[in-house]
């Protein structure tokens, strides 16, 4: 046990000899830290961040950034989402906006503690992109990206219509039949049946529909942060297994 204020000598093994020369040349301190139990393992890190007012460039979601958190610094590809409370699902953000707090989700080592500072830096210029603190370590955070499919009515009669250009095969119509429809004029409805073989379908609404209305369908897809180097070993094993399976199939008579 080392008491506070006590001088110690640390011998570091496996460090290049030119590292000390570079530290002396750049006049930067050598910081040594210790990890708690399990802090060498990878998990999903969520942090509350806000874009720096001094950074003028756009910050796209899942683009490579340099993340500094606690004593470690690594390349990450964060997925940005809305900072909403009392919600189990959160909307995906394609860009980081100035003056608004967002949540950055990344694959990173376990980091224990409250309000651990986080900085996102530009990997090329090292400019500060965003800053904040760690929110939690939870892979259960659900980030959803919304996609809207649209179609146009070609035949209208009171509350029902025949719609085209949303799908292009009757199989797709049957697959998305349970999903509700909505229009730009505020009506809601659902698909009744496919019509023909080119993706047309019949649908009904709660109110009479107009010829110049637009039929829409909202779809949601779960989004994950992109890994940088965290799963290279697993990907190599999967590629090797896939290549072995393909070789076995070719050798079969």
108-113 mean pLDDT: 87
Answer yes or no: is pLDDT of 246 > 70.
Answer: no
Encode pLDDT of 50-85 as tens digits: 999 999 999 999 999 999 998 888 999 999 999 988
Token representation of residue 144:
């959803």
pLDDT band at 10 (very low <50, low <70, confident <90, very high): confident
188-195 mean pLDDT: 94
If one counts every other C-beta atom within 10 angstroms of the C-beta of residue 218, the result is 12
The two beta strands, 89-93 and 142-157, are parallel
Residue 228 has a pLDDT of: 83
Return the SS3 of 51. strand
Strands (E), the chain: 42-51, 65-69, 72-76, 79-82, 89-93, 101-109, 117-121, 128-137, 142-157, 160-164, 180-183, 188-195, 200-205, 215-222
pLDDT band at 21 (very low <50, low <70, confident <90, very high): confident
Q: Report the C-alpha gap between 56 and 104 in whole angstroms.
A: 19
111-117 mean pLDDT: 85
Spatial contact of 112 and 36, defined as CB atoms under 8 Å apart? yes
Query: Residues of the chain with pLDDT > 70: what percent?
Result: 95
40 Rama sector, left if φ>0, alpha if ψ -120 to 50, beta otherwise = alpha
- Record the pTM: 0.74
Residues whose CB falls within 8 Å of the CB of residue 43, separated by 6 or more in sequence, listed in order: 107, 108, 109, 110, 137, 139
Encode pLDDT of 213-244 as tens digits: 999 999 999 999 988 876 777 777 777 777 77
pLDDT band at 249 (very low <50, low <70, confident <90, very high): low
| Spatial CA neighbour of 205 closest among 196, 214, 197, 195 | 214
Residue 242 has a pLDDT of: 76
If one counts every other C-beta atom within 10 angstroms of the C-beta of residue 141, the result is 16
């Amino acid at each position: 046990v080392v008491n506070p204020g006590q001088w110690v000598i640390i011998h570091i093994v496996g460090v290049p000899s030119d590292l000390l020369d570079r530290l002396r040349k750049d006049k930067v301190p050598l910081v040594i830290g210790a990890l708690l139990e399990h802090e060498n393992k990878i998990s999903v890190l969520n942090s509350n961040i806000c874009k720096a007012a001094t950074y003028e460039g756009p910050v796209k979601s899942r683009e490579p950034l340099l993340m500094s958190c606690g004593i470690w610094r690594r390349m990450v590809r964060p997925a940005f989402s809305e900072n909403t409370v009392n919600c189990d699902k959160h909307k995906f953000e394609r860009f980081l906006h100035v003056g608004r707090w967002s949540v950055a989700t990344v694959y990173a080592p376990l980091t224990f503690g409250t309000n651990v500072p986080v900085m996102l830096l530009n990997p090329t210029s090292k400019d500060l992109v965003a800053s904040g603190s760690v929110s939690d370590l939870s892979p259960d955070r659900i980030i959803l990206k919304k996609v809207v499919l649209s179609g146009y009515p070609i035949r209208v009669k009171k509350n029902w219509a025949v719609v085209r250009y949303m799908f292009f095969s009757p199989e797709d119509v049957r697959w998305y039949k349970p999903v509700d429809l909505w229009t730009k004029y505020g009506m809601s409805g659902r698909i009744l049946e496919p019509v023909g073989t080119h993706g047309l379908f019949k649908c009904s609404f709660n109110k009479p529909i107009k010829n110049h209305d637009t039929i829409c369908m909202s779809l949601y897809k779960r989004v994950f942060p992109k890994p940088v180097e965290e799963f290279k070993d697993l990907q190599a094993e999967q590629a090797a297994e896939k290549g072995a399976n393909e070789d076995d199939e070719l050798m079969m008579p």
